[in-house]
Amino acid sequence: MRKVLGKVLFYAFISIVAFLVIVPFLWMIGTSFKAREATYTIPIRWIPERPSLEAYQAIFSLTNVNFLRATANSFFLSFIMTVFPLLSSAMAAYAFAKIEFRAKRILFPLFLATMMIPAAVLMVPNYVLLNTLGLLNTYTGLLLPSLCSAFAIFFIRQFMMSVDNAYSEAALMDGASWLRIFFSVMMPLTRPALMTMGLFNFMGAWNNFMWPLVVLYNRDKWTLQLALGNMGNQFGNFNHYLMAGALVSLVPIVIVYLVSQKYVEQGLAIGGLKA
């Protein structure tokens, strides 16, 4: 009886939490298809009586912010900030996990130590460095600090430690180089970890607001998050505009998550097995 009561309370609690999480999204979706006057109707109409695409047409025809250009910029930057850091981190993780070299036991803790430094602390020195190099208001300056991630190296290394060394040894006996082993053997075997880290990278790059705000000041180079921030200042009373923009920014993350979902759970479970 106690077990049954515990399960009932557990599922009731989860249902309440799920309801509280889902309700704002339902309101966002419904509001994005309303006209302006319908957004202030009380009681709230979750399903618009007269669905309208006014908000979506408006955000893609703004004169001061090129919303379509900002969306394309975000896709471009998110792709680069997903693929290149993932590749560099995976190669470093492979070296730390499977290759013996001098100072290995010193370098890896140093990499981990950088995770203890808050990103806000590094923002000012990174800005000064980019200003000195003349890389402000450039995508190069925006991308450079994110091309390697200590957390990604740690996460992927933990997964690679669980891969049997027999695979690498067999490939070495067949005459394969370390680089060939990495791409042909280790990458396929660590796909769950790579897909999980790729999801993290994409979400971080897509939702990044503060660093692009610091580096980019040309409106043509703005990302989607900067465009949404500008809309929040300009159209604070137009809730349907803001909800339409937020929904547009949410869709790519949902799609990427659905594509990588089957790998994420396995990657998170195995990524922390071995130290």
Element (H, E) at 160: helix 150-161
Find out whether 223 and 142 touch, Cβ atoms under 8 Å: no
User: What span, in angstroms and rounded, lies between the C-alpha atoms of 253 and 58?
Assistant: 23
Report the mean per-residue pLDDT for the chain: 85
Give the domain extent around 45: 1-52
Does 106 share its domain with 210? Answer: yes
* Last-in-domain residue among 25, 52, 79: 52
Non-local (6+) Cβ contacts of 232 within 8 A are 242
- Give me 260's structure tokens: 């990588």
Q: Both 99 and 212 in a single domain?
A: yes
C-beta of residue 115 within 8 angstroms of C-beta of residue 151: yes
What whole-number distance in Å separates Cα of residue 187 and Cα of residue 201? Answer: 17
| 77 and 184, same domain (yes or no) | yes
User: Does residue 226 contact residue 213 with C-beta atoms inside 8 Å?
Assistant: yes
Rounded distance between C-alpha atoms, residue 61 and residue 50, angstroms: 22
Asked if residue 88 and residue 1 are part of one domain, the reply reads no
- Contact 198/214 with Cβ under 8 angstroms? no
- In the structure, how many helices (H) and strands (E) does the chain have? 14, 0
The closest of 152, 129, 147 to 214, measured between CA atoms, is: 129
Q: Return the closest-CA partner of residue 91 out of 176, 152, 170.
A: 152
Paired tokens of 116: 């203890």
What is residue 268's predicted lDDT score, i.e. its pLDDT? 61
Question: Please, what is the Cα angle at 29 between 27 and 35, to 5 degrees?
Answer: 90
Same domain flag for 38 and 152: no
Same domain for 174 and 89:
yes
Residues 27 and 114 in one domain: no
Question: What is the structure's pLDDT at 51?
Answer: 81
Q: Is the pLDDT of residue 125 over 60?
A: yes
Domains of the chain: total? 2
CATH of the domain at 172: 1.10.3720.10
In a domain, 57, yes or no: no
Contact indicator for 28, 241 with CB cutoff of 8 Å: no
| Model confidence pLDDT, tens digit, residues 190-245 | 888 898 899 999 999 999 999 999 999 888 899 999 988 887 666 666 778 888 88
Question: What is the predicted pLDDT for the residue at 273?
Answer: 45
CA dist 8 and 20 (Å) reads 18
**Is 143 within 8 Å of 81 (Cβ atoms)?**
yes
Portion of the chain with pLDDT greater than 70, in percent: 91
| Both tokens assigned to 33 | 């298809």
Contact by Cβ (8 Å): 48, 34: yes
Of the chain, the end-to-end C-alpha distance in Å amounts to 41
Both 25 and 102 in one domain: the answer is no
pLDDT tens track for 55-88: 888 888 877 778 889 999 999 999 999 999 999 9
Task: Give me 115's structure tokens.
Answer: 């995770």
